[in-house]
Amino acid sequence: LAHGGQLRGLWEEGVRVFRGMPYAQAPRGALRFAAPLSVSPWSGVRDATAFAPMAPQLARSARADAPMLGGDDCLAVNVWAPTAEPGAHLPVMVWVHGGGFFRGATSEPLYDGASLARWGVVLVSVQYRLGIDGFLHFEGEEHAAPANRGLLDLLMALQWVRDHIHAWGGDAGRTTVFGQSAGAGALACLMGMPASRGLFQRAILQSPSVACQTLQEAAAARHAVAVLAGVEPTLAALGAAQQAAVLHAVHRLASEPALRQQHGLGGRNFFPLRPVVDGRVLTAPPLEALAQQWADQPPALQVLVGSNAQEMRLYHVPGGAIDRVTEAKVHAFAQDVGLNASAAQALRNMQPPAQQTPGEWLCALQSDYYYRVPAQRIAALAHRWARSAHGYEFTWPSPQWRGRLGAAHGVELPFVFGNLHTPTGQELTGPTPPAALAEALQQRWVAFARDGNPGWAPYAGAQPPVQHVGETLFCAPLTQPERFALWEGVL
């Protein structure tokens, strides 16, 4: 590395793999809620053959007595790199995983970077603090616990990439960040932060989850976690609480909408912890920050952004919740997010007749609000201010859950990483996903990372073209532009 220290990795099927390399000191003890501190240089050789622990969390389907997963020594990066000649300047892709800002890990086999590395890029994946460690806001105690610590972690990880990626033949001046869901939302936050300028030149945002909390919502979330964990809502009390109790409190709030509502977290808070607009780290919500920052200083940035056609089916189809939704619940959600009744009804009428049940209607509204409209807004902002913009819509219908899952949230991930036959990949796509679609999607993502051109027309004009990624791939004007117009003033 740049400071002289060395790392021992592995050769795996022609790819150089280095795992679990710390980019910051372990956030334990007095550092748990502090801004990240860089790792001190070392001499000699350090092992880099095993993943770091995931950030502390519970399994997705954890029961009340489920043990904690992960550990505090989680701030690490992993690198997959092809063979490279000395002096190579390979494009770099930096992956930021999703998971609602409270779960997720780079050790998930779905995110193995070998397949992308074989296309000739250096693939880096990054872990960051999650849950209360990364995103719970302690208003008035920012001297000890700055806001949005998970975002500060990502900034430090990108600085590590800038300083060290040349050791693998990567060109720090050709860095593409890419992420999905909360990972894409975190990147949208970074894109509106002046501190990120120059750390990456391109960004791929897959289903960006950009909703941030106000100070009032952040305070409600802190009080809710504290009440459920049985402690006071202070930095000292939550820091001293049993970590398992705190994790279970967050897990309950994430899985029980009525509990969130009871604690003052309305319908727009689909998960209990988010980045917070604190006025320092984040001065405005991402869409506003991008509009302000980019208008003042247009970025030398190229952006590829899109969403999936039926995002929220991931949350409403498994378990049958989609069939239990009432019209009252749909109206309550629309009211919570500020969408008037006539616009909500107009959006329902745009659905095919078979998809106008209350459950399908709620799925459509939430898909728009949480993911599809933000993606379109970012594409429009990038077209106006950035170097270039490209849009896509993922439409391949997963056959899972008797064909009802469709083009749900996250279904594109096994194709992007080429990891169709991992357990999560199979869960999302079924046993016989089209390998040709994975190859096509990887080729286009890597082409964008290489030179900013994924192979279809840029997002521009009154009817901007987007790439439709489904059983066939084609470029066509954005479908239902009037749908996005109905959200004006809300997003």
- The single residue of 107, 115, 181, 207 carrying the catalytic annotation is 181
Indicate left, alpha or beta for 479 from its phi (over 0: left) and psi (-120 to 50: alpha). Answer: beta
Could you confirm whether 409 is annotated as catalytic? yes
* pLDDT of 389 above 80: yes
Q: How confident is the model at residue 269 (pLDDT cuts 50, 70, 90)?
A: confident
- The single residue of 97, 251, 390, 409 carrying the catalytic annotation is 409
Single out the residue of 386, 344, 341, 389 nearest to residue 365, CA to CA.
344
Could you confirm whether 311 is annotated as catalytic? yes
Could you confirm whether 468 is annotated as catalytic? no
| CA–CA dist 72, 70 (Å, integer) | 7
The count of other CB atoms within 10 Å of the CB of residue 69 is 16
Only one residue has tokens 């956030």, namely 27
39-85: pLDDT as tens digits = 999 899 999 999 999 999 999 887 878 899 999 999 999 999 999 88
Average pLDDT for 251-268? 90
| pLDDT computed for residue 268 by the predictor | 80
424-482: pLDDT as tens digits = 999 999 999 999 999 999 999 999 999 999 999 999 988 899 999 999 999 999 888 88
| CA–CA dist 222, 234 (Å, integer) | 8
Pick from 171-185, 262-276, 352-366: least confident: 262-276
167-187: pLDDT as tens digits = 999 999 999 999 999 999 999
Q: Where would I find the H helices in 165-234?
A: 182-191, 215-229
Order the strands of the 302-308 sheet from edge to edge: 10-12, 15-22, 76-81, 122-126, 90-96, 170-180, 202-206, 302-308, 388-394, 465-469, 473-477
| pLDDT computed for residue 76 by the predictor | 98
- The single residue of 108, 311, 360, 412 carrying the catalytic annotation is 311
| pLDDT computed for residue 35 by the predictor | 97
CB 467 within 8 A of CB 389: no
Single out the residue of 125, 79, 93 nearest to residue 201, CA to CA.
93
| pLDDT computed for residue 262 by the predictor | 93
CATH topology of domain 6-317+373-485: Rossmann fold (3.40.50)
- Residue 446 C-alpha from the chain's centroid: 19
| pLDDT computed for residue 3 by the predictor | 84
| pLDDT computed for residue 106 by the predictor | 98
* pLDDT of 344 above 80: yes
Pick from 59-68, 91-100, 146-155, 358-367: least confident: 59-68
- Residue 112 C-alpha from the chain's centroid: 16
